[in-house]
Amino acid sequence: MDILSQIVADTVETIKKRKQTLSLNDLQARAGASSHPHHSLKAKVAADPKPHIIAEFKRKSPSRPNINMNADPVAVAQTYEAGGASAMSVLTEPDYFAGAPEDLQAVRRAVAMPLLRKDFVVDPYQLFEAKAWGADLVLLIARILEPAQLAELNAAAQELGLETLCEVHNREELAVVGTTPVDFLGVNCRDLKKFSTNLDQLIDIVDDLPDHAVWVAESGIGGREDVARLEAVGYRAFLVGEHLMRNTDPGAEIGNLRGNPA
């Protein structure tokens, strides 16, 4: 079993345990009672032609066991927001990425920018969790979903008022998306089975990307030159994690990635 399949299998078991602790009906009630105002990344992108940085909080990953294990999500979030990030991605997967629901909840209380719950979503239950925890967007990974399942989760998320970022790695996964009206189409140049990156992957696929979605470049972004190169072929937003988490001045680097004068 490859690492992605193992993560998904473990996620399914985690969801079963959470449902035993908090029923779907009770979770739906919490999500419905959520008082968090919606912060739209789509609106931000539509209003500003400059590149948009989705800055990620990530302590570790299967390929990087210690990116920044002691990082404080609130302090990082405030730095990202002050630096001009358009949104923030928060990992909530505990075992492989050292994420937690509490990270997302704490960040929601601290900042006003749109928040993406980044996890391995395979069950509508997770959408209600995202809503209850204060997320504005959710990640849907095409590689781990069937076409009908992706369409169902996308519709359910949007009905809850959540924007959707659907992630693909290649044309085969893009076919899973089909005509599903996702809000953002992310191309991850990291192979989730091997966890290697290839920035050319982001360019090779652009002719097949749907016009209805905002294109997001994911992984492998190492500086302003990468952003400019990808912006030139149509990407509007850039999900940047490890590069910022290891940077000594991530706020300034966000400005640099956006092309702001030094």
Catalytic annotation on 44? no
Q: Give the integer Cα–Cα distance in Å for 107 and 136.
A: 12
pLDDT at 66: 86
Active-site pick, 93, 218, 231, 253: 218
Q: Is residue 45 part of a domain?
A: yes
The greatest distance separating any two alpha carbons of the chain, rounded to the nearest whole angstrom, comes to: 52
Provide the residue range defining the domain that includes 239: 3-18+41-258
pLDDT at 76: 97
Catalytic annotation on 256? no
pLDDT at 202: 95
Q: Give the integer Cα–Cα distance in Å for 100 and 116.
A: 13
For the chain, how many structural domains are there in total? Answer: 1
Q: What is the CATH number of the domain that holds 206?
A: 3.20.20.70
β-strand partners of 197: 190
pLDDT at 262: 65
Q: Is residue 24 part of a domain?
A: no
Instruction: For strands 52-57 and 87-91, give the pairing.
Output: parallel
pLDDT at 192: 66
Active-site pick, 68, 118, 242, 253: 118
pLDDT at 190: 80
Q: Is residue 33 part of a domain?
A: no
Catalytic annotation on 219? yes
Q: Is residue 133 part of a domain?
A: yes
Active-site pick, 68, 219, 242, 253: 219
CB of 97 within 8 A of CB of 129?
Answer: no
Q: Is residue 35 part of a domain?
A: no
Q: Is residue 29 part of a domain?
A: no
Point out the residues of the chain with pLDDT beneath 50: none
Active-site pick, 81, 163, 167, 242: 167
Catalytic annotation on 218? yes
